[in-house]
Amino acid sequence: MSEISISPHRIAGVRLACVAAGIRKNGRPDLTLVEICPGATAAAVFTRNVFCAAPVTLARRHLAAAMPRLLVINAGNANAGTGEQGLADALTVCQEAGARLNCAADAVLPFSTGVIGQRLPAEKLVSALSPAIAELRDDAWEAAAHGIMTTDTVPKLFSARVDTAHGPCHITGITKGAGMIKPDMATMLAFIATDAKIGQSDLQILVSELADRSFNRITIDGDTSTNDACILIASAQGPTLSPASPDWPSFRAALEGVFCELARAIVRDGEGATKLVTVDVRGGQAEADCLRAAYAVAESPLVKTALFASDPNWGRILAAVGRSGASGLVLTDIDIAIGGVRIVAGGEPVPGYDEADVARVMAGAEYIIEVRIGQAATHATVLTCDFSYDYVKINAEYRS
């Protein structure tokens, strides 16, 4: 068994650095490097937004060509919607970073987050590369978690340790995201590393499956970014693990725990959010139907504003489910509960239901909305948050 911790474990074979390159106007750190030792493996999932950013395009190409030795992550500029010039700028940074680290350009993966549609000031990143490389160390996870933030109010970092038959195995991950979040693999970036030795094909299966169970089950505003990326690194400095290993289930559970805690942290820090709400849908003809209904509720502006007001206006939940596109919906199958208080049964209000009971639940910082849409054994959950006045203010003033 393992426990998830906010105190980062060092990952042998992985070093990090964070410096100010001058992209942000306020002088905050905005360039983060992650150096990966030779012999490591890495796998990733990226945004499904058709108009993906230049660094996503280049990172995909480089990851297909070579195992990465360095991740170059900048905040303050997304390098998205920048055409061929954006690709050229990202490649320049990779080439210059590779030259300084004595590795090929395709062993460098670029990641960017920030404002869309503005040219990346590649010269600023290039000038900051050597100072950043000089700062690389294995205990800089917290600095890196701060360095990748944009509208985030807190850094997001979790770790776990798994004791295996061949010694301890460590996991540490950081992520950023507080708005433009509906990862579909929000402006979301995640970097997770373990010191285990894991084959690349097994690692790709892991990152795909675990991202789907964590980052792909959250929403703040229903917007999928052009820059979403999640990379999983295995530095091969610890125990060798594979699906055939007796320790694989415990390792996988610990890794999933880190993924899920990072995903929860994104929603908890949603722009202007005051509530963390789980939408739990059961009984659809297929899991996909449960997921459609859950996302319809979780992304409804009317539901989300009611969450902010602690208003048990269950009609908004019912309406969202009804337009979700879930198959086989019948009104008499619908049950709704909030915080364990049953509101609707068989499509009708529960006799004697007291709205004040639900209002008290909704005044809390975290609770569950449960919806049954049929009698099948299917199930899906989505994490969401409320829409507050601050969400509009933050996004209205984002570029000012």
CATH value at residue 391: 3.10.20.340
Judgement on whether residues 84 and 202 belong to the same structural domain of the protein = yes
On average, the pLDDT of the chain sits at 91
Q: How many domains does the chain have?
A: 2
Q: Last residue of a domain, which of 209, 239, 268?
A: 268
Q: Is 2 part of any domain?
A: no
Judgement on whether residues 132 and 220 belong to the same structural domain of the protein = yes
What pLDDT is stored for residue 227 in this prediction? Answer: 73
For the chain, give the percent of residues with pLDDT over 70: 94
Active site (catalytic) residues: 187
pTM: 0.88
How far is the C-alpha of 255 from the C-alpha of 327, rounded, in Å?
33
Q: Is 9 part of any domain?
A: no
Judgement on whether residues 296 and 323 belong to the same structural domain of the protein = yes
Judgement on whether residues 164 and 204 belong to the same structural domain of the protein = yes
Neighbouring C-alpha atoms within 13 Å toward the C-beta of 265: 26
Size of the chain, expressed as the number of residues it contains: 400
H-type helices in 137-244, by residue range?
141-147, 200-213
Tokens standing for 251? 């390792």
The angle subtended at Cα 177 by Cα 319 and Cα 87, nearest 5°, is: 115
Question: Of 81 and 248, which is predicted with more confidence?
Answer: 248
Kindly state the average pLDDT of the residues 266-289.
Answer: 91
Judgement on whether residues 211 and 299 belong to the same structural domain of the protein = no
Kindly state the average pLDDT of the residues 331-357.
Answer: 95
Residue 328 CA: distances (Å) to CA of 40, 164, 295, 376: 48, 46, 17, 11
* Tens-place pLDDT, residues 8-28: 999 999 999 999 999 987 888
What pLDDT is stored for residue 185 in this prediction? Answer: 41
Question: Residue 378's CB: how many other CB atoms inside 10 A?
Answer: 18
Judgement on whether residues 240 and 347 belong to the same structural domain of the protein = no
CATH number at residue 34: 3.60.70.12
Residue 40 CA: distances (Å) to CA of 10, 142, 199, 240: 15, 22, 9, 12
Domain that holds residue 308: 276-396
Tokens standing for 42? 């890495």
Cβ atoms of 192 and 259 within 8 Å: the answer is yes
Report the candidate in 60, 42, 68, 65 with the shortest Cα–Cα distance to residue 200.
42
Kindly state the average pLDDT of the residues 331-350.
Answer: 96
* pLDDT of 272 strictly over 80: no
Beta-sheet strands, E only, within 267-378: 276-282, 335-338, 341-345, 348-349, 366-372
H-type helices in 32-120, by residue range?
54-65, 83-101
In the DSSP assignment, the letter for residue 269 is T
Kindly state the average pLDDT of the residues 128-138.
Answer: 97
Kindly state the average pLDDT of the residues 265-271.
Answer: 83
Q: Last residue of a domain, which of 240, 268, 296?
A: 268
